[in-house]
Amino acid sequence: MNIFDVIGPVMIGPSSSHTAGVVKIGNTCSKILGCKPKIATITFYGSFAETYVGHGSDKAIIAGLLGYTPFDTRIKTSIDDANNLGYNFKIETSNRKTRHPNTVKVVANDANGSQMTIIGESLGGGAISICKINDMKVSLNGDYNTIILKYIDKPGTVKDVSAILYDFNINIATMKVIRISKGGEAIMLLEVDSSIDDVLAKTISSLPFVDDAKFINLI
């Protein structure tokens, strides 16, 4: 933590968790999708479902999907902006219990036209966590460029991936490996300090043990 976490962030009110954090979730969703989705269904859970109108969480998530930042003064008019630009965003609420009280789900098509479901949590103070992408449990705070790999658990996978990153001179900020079962499906999450280009993405994707790979340039 530094002093700008205390005096900051600069944001559009009224709530760091119900407004600013929600913009960031929307924004991160668009980056994960690789596009600003033309059509999306947004579901608010818990506290969001109860209070989204007064907190402008609906305007916030739409602003985020449109690529606005949490300090963009256009957040207030995002719903009109979306309508004028021909976007079709539907807001729903659900009373289903979620792990975190401030949870939102976005269902939209990605840049290739396949449907994606992204679940985000607003943790307070504008901080967020993207906790699920389709059926993959992840944990992204939206502050780093991220590589997500789905692969079959076996020795040497971490070595191979990190060797490629070393070759591309890319520094790993954080790394998490989650295994469903021994020798079964596993997920590797890597947050890195530089942007991920197509050549790197292709090189990692072509590793024999990788089933599915996602490369998200968040910053």
Partner 1 sequence: MKYKNIDQLLELCQKHNLSISDVALQDTANSMEISTDEVYEKMLQNYLIMKDSIKEGLKKDLKSVSGLTGGGAFKLKTLVDNKKNISGSLMGEIIYSALSTAEYNACMGRIVASPTAGSCGILPACLATLQNHYKFDDKKVVMALINASAIGKIISTNATVSGAEGGCQAECGSASAMIASGIIELFDGTPKMCTDAAAQALKSHLGLVCDPVAGLVEEPCVIRNASSATIAITSAEITLAGIESLIPLDEVIEAMFRVGNQMAPELKETALGGIAICKTAKELEKKILGCN
Closest listed residue to residue 25, CA positions, set 94, 137, 104 = 104
Q: Which of 38, 39, 53, 88 binds partner 1 (CB under 8 A)?
A: 53
- The answer to whether 122 touches 52, Cβ cutoff 8 Å, is no
Number of residues that bind partner 1 (CB under 8 A): 35
Which residues, including other chains, have CB under 8 Å from residue 3's CB and lie 6 or more apart?
none
Q: Which stretch binds partner 1 (CB under 8 A): 47-55, 107-115, 142-150, 205-213?
A: 47-55
Distance CA 87, CA 90 (A): 10
Q: Tokens 């658990």 map to which residue?
A: 153
For the CB of residue 64, give the shortest distance to partner 1 in the complex, in Å: 14
Closer Cβ to partner 1, 27 or 47, answer by number: 47
Q: Is 67 left (phi over 0), alpha (psi -120 to 50) or beta?
A: left
**In this structure, what are the phi and psi dihedrals at residue 88, rounded to the nearest 5 degrees?**
-130, 95
Q: Tokens 């289903």 map to which residue?
A: 96
For the CB of residue 164, give the shortest distance to partner 1 in the complex, in Å: 27
Closer Cβ to partner 1, 53 or 111, answer by number: 53
Closer Cβ to partner 1, 19 or 146, answer by number: 19
For the CB of residue 91, give the shortest distance to partner 1 in the complex, in Å: 12
For position 124 contacting partner 1 by CB under 8 A, the verdict is: yes
Sites of contact with partner 1 (CB under 8 A): 1-16, 19-20, 47, 49-51, 53-56, 59, 71, 73, 75-76, 93, 124-126
